[in-house]
Structure 1
Amino acid sequence: MSWPLLLHFLFFSIALLALSKGADYFVTYSSRMAKRFGISDMVVGLTITSIGTSLPELAASISAAFKDHTPVIIGNVVGSNIANIGLILGLAAMIHPFFTEKKLHFRDSMVMLGSTVLFLLFTWNGSFELWEGLVFLILYAAYMVQIIKSDRDPNQPGGLEDKHKLPFIWKPFLWEAFVTALSCLAVGFGANYLINEAIVLSQQMGVSESVIGLTLIAVGTSLPELLVSVSSVRQGKAEMVIGNILGSNIANLLLILGASSMINVLQVSKSDVLIMTPIMILFTLLGVGFIFSKRDIAKVQGGFLMALYSGFVVLAFFQGWS
């Protein structure tokens, strides 16, 4: 490997670190601010946390849309959703087998599955246009409204009455607002340089921009989900692992693709439509199947998902070089 290529990998890693840490601080401090307004743990988790852990993907995709590198966006979203199930759910199960409460995740699983199929239908013609993105944004807004409504109703699965409200004190609130603003700047800086370095790497490695999005950017921007899930499963919080993955995958499709298409028409390659998106649907079906299985999601299932993910990465690079 040449020195210039190593240098660009270093710059890519620095940009990724700024992006990931910025998203981490955003989730931590914006969640504290939300708690001061009496917003419940469930709503914070399914809105701020799921959007916050998807913030690297969102920022990177918007940056790519402005720079007219839309294949990176498609690769990023498809690759991130596959990584969330194949790598993150697989690794979590390998660390500690867990069982999930099916009722809590039925709605979110169906939204994720429906969004994935709708994405395939919308991109079948080789592009994802503004009106299709608008449909996705409307669906995401409706999904958020449904989450808030179910949170207010304690009889709904996942509805919570206990708000765990933090006292509203000006000094810590202003500090939280300041750190949140700084974290947004770090995310913006990291996303801009991440895309710049990703394009250079794709050129120097001789692979397509879509492959860089499917692999390097997808895994890199999925680090927040990975860290949250590993921490949660070690604490025995299985529902947080599943909720994090489902919420992130839904945000990746409906929010990130929707927002990016408001800036630029997203071009979708033939291999993405015919190969990568069906693979994403396969991983989605496997994830939903394991969630609703009567058995624990154990090391066998985790190892199977990680082996499939490894095969996907090899296939992605093979397609990119062919």
Structure 2
Amino acid sequence: MLMAVEPLEILKMIIGITPPASILVSVFLILLGMLSITKGGDYFTDSAVEIARLTRIPPVIIGATIVSMSTTFPELMVSVTSTLSGKGDLAVGNALGSCLCNIGLIIGSCALLKGFLSWKRNTESGIPVSRFTIVGPGFFMLFSGVLVWLFSLFSTGGATTQAGVPAEYAIARWQAGILVCILVAYIIFTLRVAIASRHDFGEEQEEPPQVDNLFTYSFKLALIFLGGAALVVLGSKLLVTNAVQVARYFEVSELLIGLTILAVGTSLPEFTISVLSIIKGHGALGTGNIIGANVLNINMVIATCALIHPLPIQRQTVLFDGPVVILLMVAMLGLSWKRKAISTASGFVLLLIYLVYLLLATFWFSG
């Protein structure tokens, strides 16, 4: 089916520059994307867990740092590209929309999945969330979410809309500088925890693997990790790009495409890693990935774009998206505080909030 097409054209179709020649090619590329995501996610998750064992660093810290940086990179590229093309408001919407999807859809559905697997396997339900995770990375996530929303309430720094008029709401460069400082503090915090963990190896953690050549093993592990990340990103691109083509072929509305395929697609790497972490019994890696991704979405993605050019903020983001992001962050941390886990019921609440948000966004702001 693809053999008659020039190699360059195949490459353009894969990375989304050229639309597929037919609906059958789109379906084939969707299946190829799903295969790439599945295999890449397997390699990525297994290597991340092995890195945690090898370095004697808790999986939640691995998830909140190198895993979340890898899965957030596509969102950074999309947002920076939008900013450079004069569509800075899309950069903010992409970053905050990913935070909404990360907690409401991903954590919510993963908690329900964990409940189902626990019932089938007769094991304890709930995704483990330690008090350290809540008061550490969780605090950075919530503080960053509140701060960026407060910043967006005022127009400073000379931001303009796509029409060229002064923006009513905006994030200035000096505010982006503060967000970068928070990112640096977050990185320092996680590094200190990582260093301390090497000298205080908990009983609940697995022993480091015994290897003959540490350098060779570490290099191989790094290649598998990066290769898995690349396959997940490539598979996500294939799946989203071609799913949009199929949806348009069947005349699905642009609004519905944006709220479903594109909304989930930007967070598909995080979704894949979190689901596979739950299935493989490494829930802490998944929650660390989500919390770290949210911290990076705000303090790396939004801050980088605002440093390039002051970011105009849409009215919907200030009045609706931002408050819902904060609500979901508070709900996630609050519901897991007492039990030190995100229960099935808590996951249902998070997912319900996200679904209600989608419905309100569709009918309230669709005009």
Regarding TM over 0.5, the answer is yes
Pair 1:112 & 2:157 matched: no
Name the CA shift for 1:263/1:237 in 2 (closer, same or farther; >3 Å): same
Identify which of 81, 84, 89 aligns with 1:66. 84
SS at match of 1:312: helix
Quote the Cα distance in structure 2 between the aligned partners of 1:293 and 1:188. 39
Alignment check: 8 A CA contact 1:90 1:301 kept: yes
- Shift of residue 242, structure 1, vs aligned partner: 2.2
Quote the Cα distance in structure 2 between the aligned partners of 1:186 and 1:86. 21
SS at match of 1:321: coil
- Shift of residue 116, structure 1, vs aligned partner: 0.6
Name the CA shift for 1:189/1:222 in 2 (closer, same or farther; >3 Å): closer
Q: Match of 2:355? A: 310
Q: Match of 1:293? A: 338
Identify which of 69, 72, 75 aligns with 1:54. 72
Q: Match of 1:102? A: 131
Q: TM-score, normalised by structure 1?
A: 0.75
SS at match of 2:342: coil
Q: Match of 1:121? A: 150
Q: Match of 1:280? A: 325
Moved more, 140-149 or 101-110: 101-110
Q: TM-score, normalised by structure 2?
A: 0.67
- Shift of residue 112, structure 1, vs aligned partner: 0.9
Quote the Cα distance in structure 1 between the aligned partners of 2:341 and 2:49. 33
Pair 1:79 & 2:124 matched: no
Name the CA shift for 1:29/1:109 in 2 (closer, same or farther; >3 Å): closer
Name the CA shift for 1:25/1:156 in 2 (closer, same or farther; >3 Å): same
Pair 1:149 & 2:192 matched: yes
SS at match of 1:262: helix
% identity of equivalent residues: 24
- Shift of residue 251, structure 1, vs aligned partner: 1.0
Alignment check: 8 A CA contact 1:92 1:230 kept: yes
SS at match of 1:294: coil
Deviation readout 1:189-247 (Å, 9 max, x if unpaired): 987xx89x99xx99x95659xx94x6543311211221222222223333223212211
- Shift of residue 22, structure 1, vs aligned partner: 12
Quote the Cα distance in structure 1 between the aligned partners of 2:29 and 2:79. 15
Moved more, 163-172 or 147-156: 163-172
Alignment check: 8 A CA contact 1:50 1:248 kept: yes
SS at match of 2:136: helix
Amino acid in the other structure paired with 1:318: F
Alignment check: 8 A CA contact 2:76 2:301 kept: yes
Q: Match of 1:134? A: 177
Name the CA shift for 1:123/1:19 in 2 (closer, same or farther; >3 Å): farther
Q: Match of 2:7? A: none
Alignment check: 8 A CA contact 2:55 2:198 kept: no
Alignment check: 8 A CA contact 2:110 2:275 kept: yes
Alignment check: 8 A CA contact 2:62 2:285 kept: no
SS at match of 2:79: helix
SS at match of 2:281: coil
Deviation readout 1:165-204 (Å, 9 max, x if unpaired): 874556994896699499779969987xx89x99xx99x9
Alignment check: 8 A CA contact 1:29 1:176 kept: no
Which residues in structure 2 correspond to 1:213-224 (within 5 Å)? 216-224=261-269
Identify which of 305, 315, 320 aligns with 1:260. 305
Amino acid in the other structure paired with 2:191: I
Alignment check: 8 A CA contact 1:23 1:56 kept: no
- Shift of residue 46, structure 1, vs aligned partner: 2.6
Larger radius of gyration: 2
Amino acid in the other structure paired with 2:72: S
The structure that is helix-richer by fraction is 1
Amino acid in the other structure paired with 2:289: N
- Shift of residue 282, structure 1, vs aligned partner: 0.9
Which residues in structure 2 correspond to 1:18-29 (within 5 Å)? none
Q: Please list every run of 5 or more consecutive structure 1 residues that lacks an aligned counterpart in the other structure.
A: none
Alignment check: 8 A CA contact 1:25 1:183 kept: no
Moved more, 267-276 or 128-137: 128-137
The number of equivalent residue pairs is 316
Alignment check: 8 A CA contact 1:129 1:261 kept: yes
Alignment check: 8 A CA contact 1:65 1:73 kept: yes
Moved more, 18-27 or 302-311: 18-27
